[in-house]
Amino acid sequence: MYKTKIDLSEKTRRNVIVILNDRLSDAIDLQSQVKQAHWNVKGPHFIALHELFDKISDAMLEQIDEIAERITSLGGTAEGTVAVAARRSKLKNYPLSITSGRDHLLYLSTQLSVYGKSVRGAIEATADLSDADTADLFTQLSREIDKYLWFLEAHLQDKA
């Protein structure tokens, strides 16, 4: 741990950093899965989904940066390598054989909902540790996750 004048105890900071690094791994994994979908989507809605997946990937990159910067501001080390993310992520592996837009939507919406649930758990966990700032960060991330989940699910709710 690095020294900081943030007025949270070292014990609190250590515990919060563990939570942040776990969510960082999930976010890195999810961003790579969204990019996988972006590169490989096929079908009649190709361009709309290709662009949507790129937008979600960009949002995930911003979330990754926000989480990592919170870790370092608390005096921790952001553990954000691909190897660490692969080992720690709670998300299922992305099937590399998916090409249809609908299959990507189904899989990504599930993955995004799993990530969203873990972020909501992090809101509660960091609030219980009396770190309102990190809880607020996770609240912001949660709202954005829900928005993009809505975007994905809207494509699946078409009755036609």
Domain spans of the chain? 10-156
**Along the 160 residues of the chain, how does pLDDT read in single tens digits?**
898 999 999 999 999 999 999 999 999 999 999 999 999 999 989 999 999 999 999 999 999 999 999 999 999 999 999 999 999 999 999 999 999 999 999 999 999 999 999 999 999 999 999 999 999 999 999 999 999 999 999 999 976 5
For 112-144, the DSSP string reads HHHHHHHHHHHHHHHHHTT-HHHHHHHHHHHHH
C-alpha span between 147 and 160 (Å, rounded): 23
Q: What is the pTM of this model?
A: 0.95
What are 142's two structure tokens?
Answer: 């949660």
* Domain 10-156 top-level CATH class: mainly alpha
d(CA 105, CA 41): 10
- CA distances, 28 to each of 42, 77, 78, 112, 117 (Å): 24, 16, 12, 12, 16
